[in-house]
């Protein structure tokens, strides 16, 4: 009986020691923090613009910015072919300093690219805005949803006129660009060289260039193409979808990832 008790005690001691060693060997993976933000610029430069600012464009217009909202989706960091989605949906609102940014913990290591979508992918675009709480980017509270269109991927509104003539008179142009529809979703991958160490805080800035948004590609003329609601039109009534397409194409082509 004594031998059996000693054997049982020995087994318990061994089990405790093995368990304790396993616990000591288990460590959390090393992590760094990525701080992502979105900022608005006239052209490639450090100056950041806000709602109410007037931008002197190289297209020959002055543009007073009244509203700018933009959906970003599936923000993903990539290293060695391994993908880490750090944010699924983000609504950047130039008029609200609390939007357009987020922080995420990621594994340490060398990341070679970052991928994101401008707008919403088809699955996200097919959601019911009434099913989300007020604080969610897809909530109806954000007023980004139209029944006829689903979600507007972006809202850019303001007033423009020829350089030096923007003064609120009848010659001013009311501009309103509301691109939407699944076919306008754009995904862009940006090469980066980011070697994150444990505990590191790393800034990543997505910069939108308003000047290039209207001058890149075929360009968008603020007077002759003052607005779009992504309407496809018909054989008898032309739509404005071509303007929405240029808007999203130019946005995807000219936006840049800047890493300090």
Would you say residue 12 lies in a domain?
Answer: no
Q: How much is the pLDDT for 187?
A: 98
- Which residues of the chain, if any, have pLDDT below 50? 25-26
C-alpha distance across the termini of the chain, in Å:
72
Q: How much is the pLDDT for 97?
A: 78
Would you say residue 3 lies in a domain?
Answer: no
Would you say residue 146 lies in a domain?
Answer: yes
Q: How much is the pLDDT for 10?
A: 58
Would you say residue 10 lies in a domain?
Answer: no
Q: How much is the pLDDT for 170?
A: 87
Distance in angstroms (rounded) separating the CA atoms of residues 214 and 209: 9
Give me the number of domains the chain comprises. 1
Distance in angstroms (rounded) separating the CA atoms of residues 131 and 183: 24
User: Which residue, 176, 139, 178, 158, is CA-closest to 52?
Assistant: 158
Would you say residue 5 lies in a domain?
Answer: no
Q: What is the pTM of this model?
A: 0.86
Is residue 226 a contact partner of residue 220, using CB atoms and an 8 Å limit? no
Would you say residue 4 lies in a domain?
Answer: no
Q: How much is the pLDDT for 98?
A: 78
Task: Identify the domain containing residue 211 by its residue range.
Answer: 30-258
Q: How much is the pLDDT for 223?
A: 95
CA distances 146 to 1, 86, 88, 142, Å, are: 81, 28, 21, 11
């Amino acid at each position: 009986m004594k031998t059996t008790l000693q054997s049982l005690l020995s087994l318990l001691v061994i089990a405790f020691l093995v368990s304790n060693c396993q616990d000591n060997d288990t460590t959390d993976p090393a992590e760094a923090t990525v701080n992502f933000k979105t900022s608005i610029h006239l052209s490639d430069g450090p100056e950041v613009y806000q709602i109410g600012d007037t931008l002197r464009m190289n297209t020959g217009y002055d543009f007073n910015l009244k509203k700018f909202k933009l959906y970003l989706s599936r923000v993903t960091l990539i290293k060695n072919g391994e993908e880490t989605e750090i944010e699924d949906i983000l609504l950047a609102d130039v008029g609200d300093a609390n939007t357009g940014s987020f922080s995420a913990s990621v594994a340490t290591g060398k990341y070679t690219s970052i991928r994101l979508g401008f707008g919403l992918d088809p699955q996200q675009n097919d959601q019911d805005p009434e099913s989300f709480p007020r604080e969610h980017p897809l909530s109806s509270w954000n007023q980004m949803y139209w029944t006829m269109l689903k979600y507007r991927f972006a809202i850019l509104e303001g007033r423009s006129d020829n350089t030096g003539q923007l003064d609120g008179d009848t010659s001013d142009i009311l501009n309103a660009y509301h691109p939407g529809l699944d076919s306008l979703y754009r995904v862009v991958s940006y090469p980066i060289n980011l070697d994150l160490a444990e505990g590191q805080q790393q800034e990543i800035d997505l910069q939108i260039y308003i000047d290039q948004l209207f001058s890149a590609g075929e360009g968008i003329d603020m007077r002759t193409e003052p607005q779009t609601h992504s309407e496809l039109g018909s054989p008898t009534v032309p739509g404005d979808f071509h303007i929405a397409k240029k808007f999203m194409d130019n946005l995807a082509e000219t936006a840049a990832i800047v890493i300090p």
